[in-house]
Structure 1
Amino acid sequence: MPFPDEVAPVEVVPYRAGWATGFTRLAVELGGALGPLALAVDHVGSTSVPGLAAKDCVDLQIRVAGPPQPATLVPPLAALGYRLRPEPWNRSETANGTVCPKLVFAPPVGAAVRRNVHVRAHGGPNARFALLFRDFLRADAEARDAWGAFKTRLSMSVSDLADYGQIKAPATVVLMRAAERWAATTGWRES
């Protein structure tokens, strides 16, 4: 759930090239703060797919060795103003039937670029899921455009973020089944 300073109706907007630029700046900042803890910093989610309509909120994935540990990750991120999201669903997620630990951080108060920082274990099913989602939609323009149209229509009828996410979740399962078929056919592997 958003912190009070983040509360706003759901709005899906056309793709913005500035999302990639914003990600690059944030990746340098986060990678520098975490040093060797960050094995990779990935641009994930809808803003990472050129041409895809999305909420104006950049999703970053930081891959770490092993399950993400608050004791090692909160201090360097809090020093930059990031806030650990407290909800249980921001502490674990299910990917391909496996419950996986994660941590999610909100941006500093008043940040110019809206963002979520997802910290996941390198090589974990949930990290793979995020990368496959991105790469499949980058590779399949028809799926990308259909996903963008779905999200745009959904945002026009559901303004609450929690409701939007709950309605989108089963559609994401269908999308990811197509992504898994694509991965098997093309030999895709996470990088």
Structure 2
Amino acid sequence: MERIVIVNHQPGWRAAFESLGGRLRAALGRKALRIDHIGSTSVPGLAAKDVLDIQVTVAGLEPSIEDAVTRAGYQRVLRIDCDHRPPGGVDDPAEWTKWFFRNSPELRRVNLHVRIAGRANQRYPLLFRDYLRAHRDAAEAYAQVKRALAERHASDADAYYDVKDPVCDIIMVGADAWAERTGWAPPASDC
């Protein structure tokens, strides 16, 4: 079991994403509608686990997508096939379906999420990221929660996520209101 460790924001995270995203773009071509840096490492100044989260948005979860991602050096984790559904979220399980991949353990750790365009779980991480980028106080409060959880549950990922996921859902209540108020839409793909 890998210990959960939260570190200060690393300036190299953006460049690491750009390199990995470029390789994924080369492997997937037009099959990838978007390739985005998501998660805490995508928010400047935010403390995070030293794990890059990348979202690849596709039209559908098709074998050719899995083949291309596998050729790019990632292995699908079959036991992870959907995202946490927030309270009040869309009930349709298809809205939360995804494919999840990890790269080889000797490389920089990456969590690669392949999600379908327009689904609730495809929108969630983009809005979450952009909201935290625009709201430093919310990002700092979120970092405090993650640090406290990592101190108390460094060896228990289930306990860590049992608290972290609902905290993210609370942040998303504010993010959804902000998106409606500002007319937020996902910016251009990161890669």
Structure 1-normalised TM-score?
Answer: 0.89
2 CA distance for matches of 1:86 and 1:123?
A: 23
- Partner residue, 1:81: 73
Structural mapping, 1:69-148, within 5 Å: 69=62, 71-87=63-79, 90-93=80-83, 94=85, 96-98=89-91, 99=93, 100=95, 101-111=97-107, 113-148=108-143
The residue type equivalent to 1:43 in the other structure is H
2 CA distance for matches of 1:162 and 1:107?
A: 21
User: What are the superposed Cα offsets for residues 77-136 of structure 1, whole Å, 9 maximum, x if unpaired?
Assistant: 22232110121xx2122363243221010012311x211110011122111101000000
Residue 132 of structure 1: SS of its match in structure 2? Answer: helix
Counting matched residue pairs gives 180
1:157 to 2:152 alignment:
yes
Greater CA deviation, 26-35 or 181-190?
A: 181-190
The residue type equivalent to 1:77 in the other structure is V
CA RMSD of aligned residues (A): 1.3
2 CA distance for matches of 1:110 and 1:92?
A: 26
Structure 2-normalised TM-score?
Answer: 0.89
Deviation at 1:45, TM superposition (A): 0.6
In structure 1, the gaps of 5 or more residues are 1-6
- Contact 1:80 1:108 survives alignment (8 Å): no
- Contact 2:90 2:120 survives alignment (8 Å): no
| Structure with the bigger percentage of strand | 1
- Partner residue, 2:9: 15
- Partner residue, 1:39: 33
Deviation at 1:38, TM superposition (A): 0.6
1:172 to 2:177 alignment:
no
Deviation at 1:169, TM superposition (A): 1.3
The residue type equivalent to 1:63 in the other structure is T
2 CA distance for matches of 1:36 and 1:189?
A: 21
Structure 1 consecutive aligned stretches of length 4 or more whose deviation exceeds 3 Å: none
1 CA distance for matches of 2:73 and 2:182?
A: 41
- Seq. identity, %: 36
Residue 54 of structure 1: SS of its match in structure 2? Answer: coil
In structure 2, the gaps of 5 or more residues are none
